[in-house]
Amino acid sequence: MSEKRPTIIITGASRGIGAATALMAADKGYGVCVNYRTGSSAAEQVVAQIIAAGGRAIAVGADVAKEKDVAGMFDQASDKLGPVGALVNNAGILETQSSFSEIGVERFRRILETNVIGAFICAREAVRRMSRSNGGIGGSIINVSSIAARTGAPHEYIDYAASKGALDSMTAGLARELAPEGIRVNLVRPGFIYTEMHSAGGEPGRVDRLVGSIPLRRGGTPDDVARAILWLISDKAAYAVGVSLDVTGGV
Ligand SMILES: NC(=O)c1ccc[n+]([C@@H]2O[C@H](COP(=O)([O-])OP(=O)(O)OC[C@H]3O[C@@H](n4cnc5c(N)ncnc54)[C@H](OP(=O)(O)O)[C@@H]3O)[C@@H](O)[C@H]2O)c1
């Protein structure tokens, strides 16, 4: 276990990329707020693993798209773990692969609600608490976008791709507005990563199907993405502001 670092809030950390980031962050000495929406037992398992390894963590249920939930999550994180110095906007959803003309408006709204409004609410809460002019300790925000923001995900989920494009724009603005406040904002774009998310799209084996199109000839692991996120948060990336880091194996 490394030196003690500030509190990090990782949304959607009950599994997949968020869980991998939580475990790695705890190992580096951060106090970790493991957020989830419905998967309380999975989140508690991540916390148990961190504590067993000598780390500090709590699990907090909160829907990122609900302002009250998010404010309560930040309160719990700072009360139990100390001042918040990092946020990873990782929670994200997609729905069944579909042609564009079959995507309903209600579905599009659900996707935007979690992926865009949720990231916006969490970032705003973090900024209010972390900004130096508000007495905060400064820090880092990472938005987890997707290679879909570049490709548009035709025939699969253009709604999801558009939501990730919004994160790209939000990162560009936040990065410039918040750097003077001591908050570095950056973005990671994962490619095809082995997680349960692809089951929600109706194709659990999607990454294996696409391996041939990846120059590195392998799908990504949650740890591949977690390493990039934690590097951008760390002092090793102290001069990186508004960076979009593709973690795609070359796609
Ligand atoms: N896997 C990939 O290939 C890939 C590629 C590019 C980008 N990404 C992005 O990487 C991020 C993580 O993806 P993943 O593959 O690890 O997904 P995942 O395995 O499906 O996990 C998603 C996480 O988000 C949480 N979540 C969903 N809606 C939420 C909400 N409204 N409030 C709070 N938590 C919520 C889930 O918690 P509950 O289960 O408790 O709801 C879960 O912990 C997402 O933003 C995704 O878009 C993934």
pLDDT of residue 81: 98
pLDDT of residue 207: 98
Residues forming the active site: 160
Instruction: Please give the distance of CA 61 from its chain centroid, rounded to a whole number.
Output: 15
Q: Report whether pLDDT(149) > 70.
A: yes
Q: Report whether pLDDT(2) > 80.
A: no
Closest atom, ligand 1, to C-alpha of 220: 3
pLDDT tens digits for 172-193? 999 999 999 999 999 999 999 9
Closest atom, ligand 1, to C-alpha of 15: 43
pLDDT of residue 17: 99
pLDDT of residue 90: 98
Q: Report whether pLDDT(34) > 80.
A: yes
Find the mean pLDDT for residues 101-123. Answer: 98
What does pLDDT average to over the chain? Answer: 97
pLDDT of residue 160: 98
Residue nearest to atom 30 of ligand 1 (CA): 63
Phi–psi pair at 153, nearest 5 degrees: 50, 50
Ligand 1 in reach of 220 Cβ (< 6 A): no
Token pair for residue 129? Answer: 């608490």
Q: Report whether pLDDT(6) > 80.
A: yes
What band does 3 get if pLDDT is binned at 50, 70 and 90?
confident
Ligand 1 in reach of 35 Cβ (< 6 A): yes
Closest atom, ligand 1, to C-alpha of 190: 6
pLDDT of residue 1: 58
Residue nearest to atom 32 of ligand 1 (CA): 63
Instruction: Report if pTM > 0.95.
Output: yes
Please report which helix (H) or strand (E) contains residue 177, including its range. Answer: helix 158-178
Residue nearest to atom 36 of ligand 1 (CA): 12
Total residue length of the chain: 251
What band does 58 get if pLDDT is binned at 50, 70 and 90?
very high
What are the helix (H) ranges across 28-157? 40-52, 67-81, 105-112, 118-130, 148-151
- Residues 6+ positions from 26 with CB-CB distance below 8 Å: 32, 50, 53, 55, 56, 57
Ligand 1 in reach of 6 Cβ (< 6 A): no
pLDDT tens digits for 192-239? 999 999 999 999 999 999 999 999 999 999 999 999 999 999 999 999
Measured distance CA(2)–CA(169) in Å, rounded: 34
Find the mean pLDDT for residues 38-45. Answer: 98
Please give the CATH number for the structural domain made up of 7-247: 3.40.50.720
Closest atom, ligand 1, to C-alpha of 206: 3
CB atoms within 10 A of CB 57: 28
In angstroms, the Cα distances linking 131 to 42, 134, 187, 246 are 32, 5, 19, 27
Q: How far is the CA of 133 from the centre of ligand 1 (A)?
A: 32
Start-to-end C-alpha separation, the chain: 34
Q: Report whether pLDDT(162) > 90.
A: yes
Q: Could you state, in order of their start, the residue ranges of all structural domains in the chain? A: 7-247
Q: How far is the CA of 73 from the centre of ligand 1 (A)?
A: 18
Instruction: Please give the distance of CA 150 from its chain centroid, rounded to a whole number.
Output: 18
Percentage, residues of the chain above pLDDT 90: 98
pLDDT of residue 39: 96
CB 200 within 8 A of CB 92: no
